[in-house]
Amino acid sequence: MARSWTLYTYPGCTSCRAAEAWLKEMNIDVTKVHIYNDPPDRQILKALASKLQGGVSALIGTRGRAYKELGLAGKALSDDEWLDLIEKTPRLLRRPILTDGDTVMVGFVKEAWEKALAGASKA
């Protein structure tokens, strides 16, 4: 049975557009969700984080404007504190995020995605 993929993406994001193009090239169907207009809720974020080394902090985009404006560099926050911040400021999320519920990929690194999604194309 084919895996069902969800891609949390943002149209203005270069990495997101590259990921979308690569997924299309690889013939992998995804359900696209605008990461800021329809951000994942706390329960989904916890589920995603549970699959990532680094937990919730692995979902944080540390190079983004929101991270810098909030002065978060060097701050040691708990998962709940990060989740509170993400709920208020979804722009803290690193993007894109691709998941099928078991696999979670954060940020587009082609080689890592190729390895993780080997055999996922519908071709």
For residue 114, pLDDT beyond 80: yes
Rounded Cα distance, 74 and 53, in Å: 19
pLDDT tens column, 39-69: 999 999 999 999 999 999 999 999 989 999 9
| Confidence (pTM) | 0.91
Range of the domain at 70: 5-116
Rounded Cα distance, 71 and 47, in Å: 26
For residue 123, pLDDT beyond 60: no
Q: Which of 1-5, 71-75, 87-91 shows the lowest mean pLDDT across its residues? A: 1-5
Can you give the CATH number for the domain in which 13 is found? 3.40.30.10
What percent of the chain is predicted at pLDDT more than 90?
86
Number of domain units in the chain = 1
Q: Which two tokens stand for residue 27?
A: 């013939």
Rounded Cα distance, 94 and 112, in Å: 16
Q: At residue 100, what is the residue type?
A: D
pLDDT, position 117: 87
Asked whether residue 122 is domain-assigned, the answer is no
Residue among 2, 46, 26 nearest 108 (CA): 26
For residue 121, pLDDT beyond 70: no
